[in-house]
Amino acid sequence: MPEPVAKTNSGRFFEDFTPGETIVHATPRTVTTGDVSLYTALYGPRFAVQSSDAFAKALGYPAAPIDDLLVFHIVFGKTVPDISLNAIANLGYADGRFLRPVFPGDTLSTTSEVIGLKQTSAGDAGIVYVRSIGRNQRAEIVLSYARWVLVRKRRPGTPAHAEQVPELPKVVLPEELGQGCPAIELSAYDDALAGSPFRWGAYAAGEQIDHVDGMTVEEAEHQIATRLYQNTAKVHFDAYGARETRFGKRLIYGGHVISLARALSFNGLGNAFHIAAINGGRHVSPLFAGDTVFAWSQVLEAAELPGRSDVGALRLRLIATKNRPCGEFPLKHGDQYDDGIILDFDYWALLPR
Amino acid sequence: MPEPVAKTNSGRFFEDFTPGETIVHATPRTVTTGDVSLYTALYGPRFAVQSSDAFAKALGYPAAPIDDLLVFHIVFGKTVPDISLNAIANLGYADGRFLRPVFPGDTLSTTSEVIGLKQTSAGDAGIVYVRSIGRNQRAEIVLSYARWVLVRKRRPGTPAHAEQVPELPKVVLPEELGQGCPAIELSAYDDALAGSPFRWGAYAAGEQIDHVDGMTVEEAEHQIATRLYQNTAKVHFDAYGARETRFGKRLIYGGHVISLARALSFNGLGNAFHIAAINGGRHVSPLFAGDTVFAWSQVLEAAELPGRSDVGALRLRLIATKNRPCGEFPLKHGDQYDDGIILDFDYWALLPR
Amino acid sequence: MPEPVAKTNSGRFFEDFTPGETIVHATPRTVTTGDVSLYTALYGPRFAVQSSDAFAKALGYPAAPIDDLLVFHIVFGKTVPDISLNAIANLGYADGRFLRPVFPGDTLSTTSEVIGLKQTSAGDAGIVYVRSIGRNQRAEIVLSYARWVLVRKRRPGTPAHAEQVPELPKVVLPEELGQGCPAIELSAYDDALAGSPFRWGAYAAGEQIDHVDGMTVEEAEHQIATRLYQNTAKVHFDAYGARETRFGKRLIYGGHVISLARALSFNGLGNAFHIAAINGGRHVSPLFAGDTVFAWSQVLEAAELPGRSDVGALRLRLIATKNRPCGEFPLKHGDQYDDGIILDFDYWALLPR
């Protein structure tokens, strides 16, 4: 009998990526109200649009839409076995745009196009740039974002493709926002039910908002969340293997931090109901179980949406810390992030006007 | 640029409450089968009516109704940011009535009327009495209950409203029970599927029932539960902040104990499928992660429901303990609760006749 | 007043079982998309058929079916209060057949027939053999399996029924497989979305597959899972009582291990989308919270299904270990299982041809 072909996926290495190729990722996933309940239970978000069918319908949605970050995590999770199983580091993401709302019953799948490759000077790894696209069961794009990761080479000596680095926008332009948000019936928007009297016009660039509350993370919680997204990165699940790693324990999925910080941000940004775009983000430092997450936001910019008077956009910088309350708005001294900072996230949110 | 208005909710203080005012609480919430699954997974209830559409429909429900305590927790959770963010203690509740069943797809929202205020003799805090009302998307009342909490004053010197203490019933009267339960088709009630041969007539006042089993609580579990209810009380989530508190660790939401004890009570009260009313309850002592909860029940009273021959009511005293099995029915010596008791809860349950 | 009849179920003892009797188990359970989300979150399965309505419908299912093991756990959980509350050990199971797919909205209930009894030579316990049958709300059989457990006698001296040991097949025959799987539209089966290029014909008897990844289990996770199945075996939940036991801590439900190993097996068996039958299984050693589970599979046999060209069957031996990666395929030395092995599970899976 010939030796059988190895059936186990050991992941792609740097030399396995070809410029321009499109990778179809596995496991389409129907999103349900069960996912919504778990997302609520894992982070405690309180945005009325995503929480209540009645509230959402009054505004013009057919039903309460799925939380944008839940969509992001599910679309992202599918890319892990193909893109980042042999990643050394997630370096960044950019130009993330939520292009269509997702509702319970929709089925999400993901493809990624290789949009750039750059071997490191040492030659034993390289940066892979991909644009990942999440689609629903009608093949409509619901989310598009670029991401770049540092991936090991299988063999250091393998020649690499010619270097190609894509140009990516630092900020999504206001005219590109809003596709993921239907026209909102403003007269039906109830501030009391929404939990905040502050609409778009109440915020000004430069304003800083402490979200006050802290949330401690348990191993069971981040594992349950990360599996919900069918994200298989072993660093999040394998305490046995982690003993030999730099940190000696499981790392929490960076997206878990984003969702925690976003949920905390309700206190101060209760009407910022929709994430329209992700401009970029950096996981400054890892989070571990037992740590407590705090967050604060800075308003970077307020923008009108061309042709729309129902909603306006705020560009927000969301800073998350661990074991450090944010009453003093910790950020940077020079180039150095302050102690305790774990996330520096730049996104556009929509609010009613 | 003028200093922006603070966007963060720091909660109401005693002097912020006005007699007679009605507070509309944030975040309406559509309850789904996802919530039902999580509730089952967090407590392990086995009452057939709430577990099976087929069983519930045979009795006359349009579908399996949402567990009454899940409704309670969701309705209650909404009140926290407005009523008890600056609470020193939850003192009690009374006159809780479940007035209409809730089904998956219903959207719950809550308002609270301030029905009483009483400044403490020290003058730095006061008791706030509210009646909280949960409604569905058709504005039908599904739950009404009174609650009183001790709330800090913002400034000790602020003059208070005239003292006003509401009269609240010690026990909901039998004629007020049953609105939350449709007429039951008794011929379809299958004792074997329900898990108990003991119907209403099998129980007598004075009877004591040990529920035998113990359930250990983990931090992840009570956090997941409490966030599911969108209850934001920070004492349940912030281990970092808790280091400076009296107990030095996170406190478990009192409602989590009630739900655990109620689920344990299935063993002995398997046909007590509906909580019709909450007469009162006391959280005798706090529960912490790692503790194991046990429970026993005493039948305080059996009552017919005027005009109904399908179901009867039992007034039950549900006692929960931590790290102490209940085979000896621990309760009180004189005025003192016995060691290990954490909950003394008085409610009406309906059983088939 | 006469002493009331004890209301608490203390479980059946060996002498309470009668040959040929059928036990109707309590708590019918409607399975929902909420259960699916929790199952995904607890184990991380990625089989496309169960994950995506769109994928399943393209193949010929009316919707994504419920994971076979979730069905097994729910059907099994109901038997615990009647069969194994006083069990000393679960000895084995055999002839498990999944006979009809289960979909969200279906209500499952379970009955068990006593098919054998055998007192131990010491006379203080005996083996109870049951055939448990899970049915949907139309009384259609969805799962049938045999199981035998060692159960205590209430009083060692009680005379026992005549010994009767059922004959059970070691392996379910290929002609009995496939009833739980509709005719599959092969042209719609997308290997890239499914996550594996290896269909039935790519596997050969004797082949060994390391599933590579490890998954660490937390107390909150297995408790949440086991309650989801309404399995009440106290050894899984009561840390207080467990202090006095042989292991001094909570035991993890054996089915949790099976589901973890099955989810890990996706990496290498991504197209093995349906469990058609369980031939047998042994929980070699207990799993505790904090342990990390690894798994590998051996192909025992490949079989065609009579009259079907859409799918073929693989008989698989699924080995799970704790705190031991499976790159060296640990199994047995002589009669002794290798260190770290916790599960030896024999089942039939269906794959597209």
pLDDT tens per residue across span B253-262: 999 999 999 9
- Top residue of B7, B40, B80 to mutate, by most chain A CBs within 10 Å, is B7
% residues pLDDT > 70 (chain C):
99
pLDDT at B223 over 60: yes
pLDDT at residue number C39: 98
Stretch among A153-167, A244-258, C102-116 having the lowest mean pLDDT: A153-167
Q: A103 pLDDT exceeds 80?
A: yes
Mean per-residue pLDDT for B93-100? 97
Question: Which residues numbered 53-112 in C keep a CB inside 8 Å of some CB on A?
Answer: 53-55, 64
The beta-carbon neighbor of C28 closest among B34, B48, B270 is: B48
Lowest mean pLDDT among A204-208, B318-322, C161-165: C161-165
Identify the pLDDT of residue C133. 98
pLDDT band at A74 (very low <50, low <70, confident <90, very high): very high
Taking only the tens place, the pLDDT of each residue in B270-283 is: 999 999 999 999 99
In this structure, what token pair is assigned to residue A325? 């309350």
CA–CA distance, A254 with A261 (Å, rounded to integer): 11
pLDDT computed for residue A159 by the predictor: 87
Is the pLDDT at C102 greater than 80, yes or no?
A: yes
- Say if the Cβ atoms of A28 and C54 lie within 8 Å: yes
Please tell me the predicted confidence (pLDDT) of residue B276: 98
Q: What is the pLDDT of residue C108?
A: 98
Determine the pLDDT at residue A2: 57
Q: What is the pLDDT of residue B158?
A: 86
| pLDDT value, residue B5 | 81
Q: Is the pLDDT of residue C337 over 80?
A: yes
CB contact under 8 A, A267 and B8: yes
Question: Can you tell me the distance from the alpha carbon of B314 to that of A209, in angstroms, rounded to the nearest whole number?
Answer: 51
Using CB atoms, pick whichever of C36, C51, C193 lies closest to residue A34. C36
B216 touching A (Cβ < 8 Å): no
Task: Work out the pLDDT band at C5, boundaries 50, 70, 90.
Answer: confident
Tokens linked to A316: 């927000």
* Residue A1 in this model has a pLDDT that exceeds 60: no
Q: What is the pLDDT of residues A288-315, one digit of tens each?
A: 999 999 999 999 999 999 999 999 999 9
For residue B246, give both structure tokens: 């009296």
The more confidently predicted of residues A170 and B162 is A170
Q: Is C224's Cβ below 8 Å from some Cβ in B?
A: yes
Asked if residue C83 lies in contact with residue C9, where contact means CB atoms within 8 angstroms, the answer is: no
pLDDT at C2: 56
Residue-averaged pLDDT of chain A: 96
pLDDT at res. A3 = 66
Write down which chains contact chain C via at least 3 CB pairs under 8 A: A, B
Taking CB atoms and an 8 Å cutoff, what residues of chain B touch C27?
Answer: 46-48, 51-52, 193-195
Residue B151's pLDDT is 95
Domain limits, chain A: 9-157, 170-178+195-353
Contact state of B230 with A290 under an 8 Å Cβ cutoff: no
Of the options 3.30.70.1150, 1.25.40.10, 3.10.129.10, 2.40.50.140, the CATH number for the domain spanning A170-178+195-353: 3.10.129.10
- Output the pLDDT for position B10: 84
**Collapsing DSSP states into helix, strand and coil, what is residue B297?**
strand
- In this prediction, what percent of chain B has a pLDDT beyond 90? 92
Closest partner CB to A38 (pick from C37, C270, C290): C37
How high is the pLDDT of residue C159? 87
At B2, is the pLDDT very low, low, confident or very high (cuts 50, 70, 90)?
low
pLDDT at C88: 87
Who wins on pLDDT, A122 or A223? A223
CATH class entry, domain A9-157? alpha beta
Please state, rounded to an integer, the average pLDDT across all residues of chain C.
Answer: 96
- Is the CB of A185 inside 8 Å of chain B's CB atoms? no
* pLDDT of res. C306: 96
Contact residues on chain C for A240, CB-CB shorter than 8 A: 214, 216, 292, 323, 325
User: Tell me, what's the pLDDT at C3?
Assistant: 65
Q: Is the pLDDT confidence value at C26 over 60?
A: yes
Please give the structure tokens belonging to residue B219: 């931090």
Report the residue from A40, A213, A268 with minimal CB separation from B228.
A40
- Both tokens of B171, joined, read 């026990």
pLDDT-derived band at B89, boundaries 50, 70, 90:
confident
Over residues A25-47, the mean pLDDT reads: 98
Question: In the 3-class helix/strand/coil scheme, how is chain A assigned residue by residue?
Answer: CCCCCCCCCCCCCHHHCCCCCEEECCCCEECCHHHHHHHHHHHCCCCHHHHCHHHHHHHCCCCCCCCHHHHHHHHHHCCHHHHHCCEEEEEEEEEEEECCCCCCCCEEEEEEEEEEEEECCCCCEEEEEEEEEEECCCCCEEEEEEEEEEEECCCCCCCCCCCECCCCCCCCCHHHCCCCCCCCCHHHCCHHHHCCCCCHHHCCCCCEEECCCCEECCHHHHHHHHHHCCCCCHHHCCHHHHCCCCCCCCCCCHHHHHHHHHHHCCCCCCCCCEEEEEEEEEECCCCCCCCEEEEEEEEEEEEECCCCCCEEEEEEEEEEEECCCCCCCCCEECCEECCCEEEEEEEEEEEEC
Among the four given CATH numbers 3.40.50.300, 2.40.50.140, 1.20.1560.10, 3.10.129.10, the one describing domain B14-156+173-181+193-352: 3.10.129.10
CATH-assigned architecture of domain C14-155+170-352: Roll (3.10)
The count of residues in chain B is 353
For the residues C226-234, what does the mean pLDDT come to?
95
Please indicate if any CB of chain C lies within 8 Å of the CB of A7: yes
- Is the pLDDT at C104 greater than 60? The verdict is yes
